[in-house]
Structure 1
C-alpha cells in the first residue's frame, strides 16, 4: 500500500500537472486519507441542468430515470464481441478520482490522472455526476495503457468549448517514443461505462482537425459501453470530421472497436461536424458492434474534393471513412435519423485505391437521408471500394 507521501512522489516523478494544492492530484487507490474537498462548483455538479437527461440525475428523479440516462448501445444487438474488444478490467485501478463526494471529483484530478497514465476510476458518491473538463486531457506517449471507466455514473463534459481527450503519438509535445510515430502499439486508450458530452474541437486544425470529444492518432483506441452526446467539430472542410471521435492511424492497421455504445440517441443529442457526425477516420478500420447512431449530422457543403466555390464537406451523417486499404464492419447495430448535406446520410466510405471492404451484419439502417448522393441499392450509404458491401441479416431502407 502506498502512503500519501508515496503517491505525491510518484506524481512528481511522472510529471503530473501541479495546480498549487492536493486538489490537483488524483487519489492513490492505496490511500485512505480524505481529500481536501473544495466547495461544489460547476466543475462537478450532480445536476448541471439542461442536459436532456444525460450525465446527471436531475433533482427529484427516480433511480430508474437515472439508470435510463446511462443506457448504452443497442439492446437488440447480439453480435459476438471478441476478447480484445471487451471492457478492460478495473479491479486494480491505478488512480481513483474522488473520495466519495461529488466535490472531490474535479477536472484537475482527472487531467492529472490521464497525464500519469494507467487505469482510472471514479469515487464520486452514489449519484450520477458531470465533471466539466476545464482543459483537454492529454495522453502521454510513454503511457502503455490509459483506461477511463466511469462506472456507469460519470459524464465528462467539454462544456461546448473544448475537446475532452487527445492522443497523438506524432505530437512532439507529448514526447516522441519511436522513429515511426504513426505506427506504434501504445498508448492504448479505452473509454468505457462513461458519457462524453459537449466536446468541441472547432478551430483546432492539428493534423487536419476534427474529433470533438476524442482525437486519436497512433497507438490503439476503443470505446465500450460509452455514450457520446452533443459533440461537434468544424462545420466546413472537405476531409475533417468526427464530432465524437476522429482517428487517423492505428498500430499495424488494427481496427478501432466500438462496442455497445451510443452516438446521439435522441433528437438534439447527436454530433455535428463538416463530415462524420459521430465517427471519422483516414486509413483506419472499424469494427462497430451492438451500437446506436442517431441524430448525427454532416453539415459541410461541397463534398471532397470541394466543389468550386464551396468550403467542402457534408458527407457521412454518422460515419465518414477515407483512405486506401481499410475495412468497416457493422454488426448488431442500429443507424437511423442521421443526415448528410452531401453523400452518405449513414455512412460515407471511400477507398481511394478501391481495395477497402465493408460488411453489414444483423443491423438496421433506416431514415438516413443523403441530400446529395448515395450508392444505388444501399440507402444512406455512399461506397467506393473493392466490391459492393456485403449485407447479411440486415435491413437497409430509406
Structure 2
C-alpha cells in the first residue's frame, strides 16, 4: 500500500533516522512530502544518446541496454553502444521495482530538493514521480548518506537530472564522518552503506573549496562502504582547479570495503564539447587506494587543469594529471572494457588515464576499448598514448585501439 505522508510524519522519520537505532516502518512506495514553494524542479532538456556522446544533462531517448529500474514505457541509454563487455551480476542495476521512497507527487513542482535530500537521509530504494517529461532537480544542499543505512539506491527512471547549480556537491557518503554517525569501529573498511546511482544524470556539481578528506568529487564523493554507477550521465561537474592529489570532477572515491572495486557501467562522462568535467586531476574519476571496473562507458571532453603534477614541482600548486581518470595508491587494479575514451586532456600526465601504484603492485587491463585523441601536455608512458602508468607490469591491452 502506498501512502501520502504528512509533514508531521516526515519530521518523526528524520528524527528517528538521526538517533541511529530505530527506523520508521514504511510501506514500499511511501512518498516523502516537502514544501512545494521550493522552485527546485524544472523541465530538463533531453540529451542526445546517439553514439553515447551527446546530451546536456537530460536523459536521451535510445534503446535501453541497462533498463532495470526504469519505469514502463521508457527507453534510454548512456555509455558506449558499441561496448560489449560482459557485466557481472554485482555490477548490474539494482532492483528498484519496490521503492522505499518515491520523491514527487506526479508533477515537476513536486520533485523538490527537500524531498530528495530527506529520502537520501532515510536510505533504502529511492525513485521519482515527477510527471511524464524529463526534469531537473536543483539540489539546494548536498544530499548525505547516513552511515547506518545498509543501502541507498537512487534510480532516476531515465528522466531525472540532479543539479548542483554550479555551487555545491550533489551527493556525499563518508563512513568516517562522525556527523553521519559511526556505524562501526573500523569506519575505513565497512561493508555498508552500499550506494548505487542508476538511470539518472548529475550536472553542474561543484566541490571547489571543500577540502574535506582532501577535497574532490564535484558531483559525488564516496569514502567507505560500496559504490557503483549504472546507466548514469555526468556533465559539467567541477572540483578545485589546483592541488597535487585531489580530483574527480564527477566522482571521487577513497577506500571501499575489502578493496572491492567500484563499478562504472554503461555511463557517460562529458559526451560532447563543453559538457565534460574539469578539475585539478581526474576530469571524470579520481581515487586513492581504490580499484575500478569500467564497462561499456564513454569519457570525453574532460580536463585535468592543475599545474605541477604530484608531488608538486617547486613554485607550482600541483595537479594536472588524468584527463579522464586519476588513480593513486598502492595495491589496486583498474579494468577498462568496452569503453570509449576520447578528447580528454591533461596539463601534465595521462590525457586519458593516470595510474600510479606507489609500491608498484597495481595492475591495469584494457579490453575491447578505444582510447584516442587524449593529449598529455607533460608526460606519458611510451607505447601507451594518453596513459601514464606506474605499476607491477605494463598495462594488459587486448582487442583495443590506443592512438593519438
Relative to the length of structure 1, the TM-score reads 0.90
Which of these residues, 173, 189, 199, is aligned with residue 193 of structure 1? 199
Match of 2:116 in 1: 110
Runs of 4+ in 1 over 3 A off after TM superposition: 1-11, 27-32, 34-37, 47-53, 67-71
Alpha carbons 1:288, 1:330 under 8 Å: kept: yes
Deviations 1:14-33 (A, max 9, x none): 43799xxxxxxxx975568x
Match of 1:203 in 2: 209
The yes-or-no answer on 1:342 pairing with 2:348 is yes
Secondary structure at 2:140 match in 1: coil
* Counterpart Cα distance in 2 of 1:173 and 1:31: 26
Unaligned regions of 5+ residues in structure 1, if any?
19-26
Match of 2:36 in 1: 38
Deviation for aligned residue 1:13: 4.1
* CA pair 147-117 structure 1, distance change in 2 beyond 3 A: same
Alpha carbons 1:70, 1:195 under 8 Å: kept: no
Deviation for aligned residue 1:99: 1.3
Residues 1-398 of structure 1 aligned to structure 2 (within 5 Å): 1=1, 3-4=3-4, 9=9, 12-15=12-15, 29-30=28-29, 38=36, 42-47=39-44, 53-56=55-58, 71-398=77-404
Deviation for aligned residue 1:49: 11
Between Structure 1 and Structure 2, how many residues are aligned? 382
Alpha carbons 1:7, 1:28 under 8 Å: kept: no
Relative to the length of structure 2, the TM-score reads 0.89
Deviation for aligned residue 1:193: 0.2
CA RMSD of aligned residues (A): 2.7
* Counterpart Cα distance in 2 of 1:11 and 1:74: 43
* Counterpart Cα distance in 2 of 1:303 and 1:170: 28
Alpha carbons 1:70, 1:153 under 8 Å: kept: no
Alpha carbons 2:299, 2:342 under 8 Å: kept: yes
Match of 1:23 in 2: none
* Counterpart Cα distance in 2 of 1:255 and 1:30: 30
Unaligned regions of 5+ residues in structure 2, if any?
19-25, 49-53, 63-72
Residues 208-217 or 70-79, more deviating: 70-79
* Counterpart Cα distance in 1 of 2:2 and 2:151: 21
Alpha carbons 2:43, 2:135 under 8 Å: kept: yes
* Counterpart Cα distance in 1 of 2:5 and 2:357: 54
* CA pair 31-278 structure 1, distance change in 2 beyond 3 A: closer
Secondary structure at 2:196 match in 1: strand
* Counterpart Cα distance in 2 of 1:389 and 1:50: 34
* Counterpart Cα distance in 1 of 2:111 and 2:27: 13
Deviations 1:232-270 (A, max 9, x none): 000000000000000000000000000000000000000
Deviations 1:100-140 (A, max 9, x none): 11110000000000000000000000000000000000000
Deviation for aligned residue 1:56: 4.6
* CA pair 2-364 structure 1, distance change in 2 beyond 3 A: closer
Alpha carbons 1:253, 1:284 under 8 Å: kept: yes
Match of 1:21 in 2: none
* Counterpart Cα distance in 1 of 2:189 and 2:304: 29
Deviation for aligned residue 1:38: 2.8
* Counterpart Cα distance in 1 of 2:268 and 2:3: 40
Secondary structure at 1:396 match in 2: strand
